[in-house]
Structure 1
Amino acid sequence: MKVPITELQERVSNLQDSLQKKGIDGALLVQRADTLYYTGTAQNVHIYVPREGEPIVLAYRDFGRAQQESSWEVIQLKGMSKIPNHIQEAGLPLPEKLGLELDVLPVNQFGRYRKTFPDASLVDISSEVRLLRAVKSEWELARLEKSAQIHAQVLEYAKEVLHPGMTEVELEGLVEGKARSLGHGGYVRMRGFDSEFHFCVITSGARAAVPSCFDGPVTGQGISIAHPNGATMAQIQTCEPIIVDMVTVVDGYQIDQTRILSLGPLAENLIKAYEAARLVEERIRCALVPGRVAGEIYEEILTWVRENTPYEDNFMGYRTGQVRFVGHGVGLELDELPTISKGSKEVLKAGMVVAIEPKFVFPGVGVVGIEDTVVIEAEIGARYLSVSPRELAVL
């Protein structure tokens, strides 16, 4: 589906407002999620956004597809050194102060831009871009809602095919095939350096409580030392919590959701911890209102868990393995802003989309918890985009 030109124009206009406030003459964006957001194509393109006037979309590969997919006029790029020429040919002055995505730009690539724009001051524009992308339009929310519908169908399918003795990898493979058949895009984009995430983490029992390099409360043990997250070849047993932490993607937009399944009843202490996680999720949802500071909500939630549950050491990991967040932005990337995390200064705005994920980790036993994607709207709290039932699914 082609991104409407009115959508792209609004996005560029918002970025230009930020450029003018920062005294930046233009932004040159090259990171895939950012260029997809501002051009409507995931081809290999640069987009130059001047502080005033039309943006310039320069496609390296594939030029023909970029022309077809983007609602902007697209120019063929035959070399990075030609970018200043294209700017001048568009009747625009060369920037004296140029914004780049310095949070993700490799040093070698930065060096090439420095040679291409020898007289320009190169500054970081990544925070402005990420904060603008954090607020979703109605068009974007429609993509997320469709993704949530696919997620719900895949989860029901997982309940149908799950049986004792099947391996975690087997269930994951069946789930992925079903998701793809329903239109799941496949890619799970992340911005963080060296971050890797398969679309689904299916892990069960004590393996779910094994910590990993990935910055998340539950990652699974993984299939090998080279792939240390997610499913294993181990068989799923009865009466143990089974984590289905899954991302579904429509037109690049991601819904992140976790549910707990069980083949037979769980131990009473795990059931109580799951109900505590649901209470925490609802408290976070109600706290996600425009104007709140994300880090303050995080501290409130930690205090509530400490004062109202016996699971402080198990919240969002176990002791030294605990992560310092309870929610993260999602959209074209899985690790967007805002983060409901320790020390976060981000002020929440209507239209921001957050995955809330309170989880309790019990080493040697397993993990229980929940995750849902919500959109911040009004003073009554965020609205659920996830549509799957939130009850513990005992099969």
Structure 2
Amino acid sequence: MDRRLARLRQSLEKLELDGIIIDRRENIYYLSGFTGGADGHLLITAEEALLFTDSRYTEQAARESPDWVLIEEKPPLGKALQEKAGRYRKIGLEDTVSYRFYREMNEKLGESLVPVSGIIEELRIIKEPEELDHLRQAATIGSEVFADLLTTIQPGMTEKAVADLIISGLRQRGAEKESFDPIAVSGLNAALPHGMPGERILQKGDMLTLDYGGFYRGYAGDMTRTVAIGQADEVLRDRYNKLLDAQQYGVELVRAGVSCADLDRQVRNRLGNYGLDQYFGHGTGHGIGLEVHEMPHVSSRSQRVLEPGMVITIEPGVYIPGWGGIRIEDSVIVNDHGCEIITNSPKQLIVI
């Protein structure tokens, strides 16, 4: 935590800020270890590291953030934070705060309040060894759940029943909660990249796309596999193998020094060789950490170059209305010589 604060203070100095107010849940946890989320705020200056929360969380904050100065807020909430921040000439405020919180701070701080964007998120891009271990374990949990699903999914189940199996499996394997609502979409519904599991019954010959993950010690897992139910026809096998080729090609390209935009372009071109790029509408991947979607973004719009310690997904997909869809996703850790694949589940087409 001390190293993170030191890096943040260097950023504040470059921006000529006297301090910064932190409101975002993930950033509060990253800097202080406090899990109280939206019921806490941080004020960080060159000399102080203050944690503000109310009486419901003071004992928790003392345990989780023993090196921080704890200030108990009393009604009206935010007054103590305003008073402390009001001593400084120029205070940054995350631009992700609610409008209500901004108004409350602005009433007291006025022109000294400066909206800032992405300062903490920039620090979070390169993961520390402990963070990488947590992400590896989150990925392992996802892979274990996938192995369990291969023995339990069968024709006649509903998509919703499969999603329920994912949720219970993540908890049983050690996840604190789901990274997001699990996706389990089959048949024509698989053409919906973020479709919601419903009452559709799995039928022989269906494709079934499973996209899910769980948090482990605050760090998110994210993986996708597409399987076939009962049997797979030649069209499904052909399109699956072409997508798998593009996905594996993308993983092979990952290494420090590669631009995210070029990585996205090359994966898209690989699908284009098969005439499938027109069915691939989203980015090739994204960063993963305290949030399931964070920087860097692996897309045509990104200006980021990969660096060692970044953790990203590679997840091309094809979505064809009237037919269905396929997606394959791995989470990988970037290094100087390539990447470490932390999603350890088979990727060949599995018929269950």
1:140, CA displacement in angstroms? 0.6
Q: 1:283 to 1:96 in 2, by over 3 A?
A: farther
Amino acid paired to 1:34: N
2:73 matched to 1:81?
no
Number of the residue aligned with 1:69: 64
Number of the residue aligned with 1:250: 216
Range 66-75 or range 172-181, more displaced: 66-75
Q: How does 1:227-376 map to 2 (within 5 A)?
A: 230-306=196-272, 308-315=273-280, 322-323=281-282, 325-376=283-334
Cα distance in 1 for partners of 2:94, 2:146 equals 37
Deviations 1:199-236 (A, max 9, x none): x10111101113xxxxxxx112xxxxxxxxx2011101
Cα distance in 1 for partners of 2:206, 2:146 equals 18
Cα distance in 2 for partners of 1:151, 1:71 equals 33
Instruction: Indicate which of 129, 150, 155 corresponds to 1:164.
Output: 155
Cα distance in 2 for partners of 1:285, 1:53 equals 44
Cα distance in 2 for partners of 1:111, 1:152 equals 45
1:86, CA displacement in angstroms? 4.2
1:357, CA displacement in angstroms? 0.7
Number of the residue aligned with 1:15: 8
Unaligned runs of 5+ in 1: 1-7, 89-93, 189-196, 211-217, 221-229, 316-321
Instruction: Indicate which of 25, 44, 49 corresponds to 1:55.
Output: 49
Normalised to the residue count of structure 1, the TM-score between the two structures is: 0.83
Cα distance in 2 for partners of 1:172, 1:121 equals 45
1:131, CA displacement in angstroms? 1.7
Q: Report if the CA contact (8 A) 1:114-1:122 is conserved.
A: no
For 1:342, what is the secondary structure of its paired residue?
Answer: coil
For 2:308, what is the secondary structure of its paired residue?
Answer: coil
2:114 matched to 1:118?
no
Cα distance in 1 for partners of 2:155, 2:340 equals 36
Amino acid paired to 1:75: I
For 1:160, what is the secondary structure of its paired residue?
Answer: helix
Q: Report if the CA contact (8 A) 1:157-1:175 is conserved.
A: no
Amino acid paired to 1:292: V
2:93 matched to 1:134?
no
1:270, CA displacement in angstroms? 1.9
Q: Report if the CA contact (8 A) 2:187-2:323 is conserved.
A: yes
1:71, CA displacement in angstroms? 3.8
Unaligned runs of 5+ in 2: none
2:41 matched to 1:46?
yes
Cα distance in 2 for partners of 1:24, 1:135 equals 23
Amino acid paired to 2:185: T
Number of the residue aligned with 1:393: 350
Q: 1:288 to 1:97 in 2, by over 3 A?
A: farther
Number of the residue aligned with 1:207: 189
Q: 1:257 to 1:187 in 2, by over 3 A?
A: closer
**Once the two structures are aligned, what percentage of the paired residues are identical?**
26
1:54, CA displacement in angstroms? 4.0
Number of the residue aligned with 1:145: 136
1:183, CA displacement in angstroms? 1.7
For 2:176, what is the secondary structure of its paired residue?
Answer: coil
Deviations 1:7-27 (A, max 9, x none): x11111111121112222211
2:29 matched to 1:36?
yes
Normalised to the residue count of structure 2, the TM-score between the two structures is: 0.93
Number of the residue aligned with 1:377: 335
Cα distance in 2 for partners of 1:96, 1:356 equals 44
For 1:83, what is the secondary structure of its paired residue?
Answer: helix
Q: Report if the CA contact (8 A) 2:93-2:113 is conserved.
A: no
Cα distance in 1 for partners of 2:250, 2:287 equals 14
1:166, CA displacement in angstroms? 0.8
1:116, CA displacement in angstroms? 2.7
Q: Report if the CA contact (8 A) 2:178-2:213 is conserved.
A: no
For 1:123, what is the secondary structure of its paired residue?
Answer: strand
For 1:393, what is the secondary structure of its paired residue?
Answer: coil
Cα distance in 1 for partners of 2:298, 2:159 equals 30
1:327, CA displacement in angstroms? 0.3
Deviations 1:46-68 (A, max 9, x none): 11121x23411122241211212
Corresponding residue pairs, total: 346
For 2:284, what is the secondary structure of its paired residue?
Answer: strand
Cα distance in 2 for partners of 1:338, 1:296 equals 13
Number of the residue aligned with 2:145: 154
For 1:95, what is the secondary structure of its paired residue?
Answer: coil
1:40, CA displacement in angstroms? 0.7
1:300, CA displacement in angstroms? 2.7
For 2:214, what is the secondary structure of its paired residue?
Answer: strand
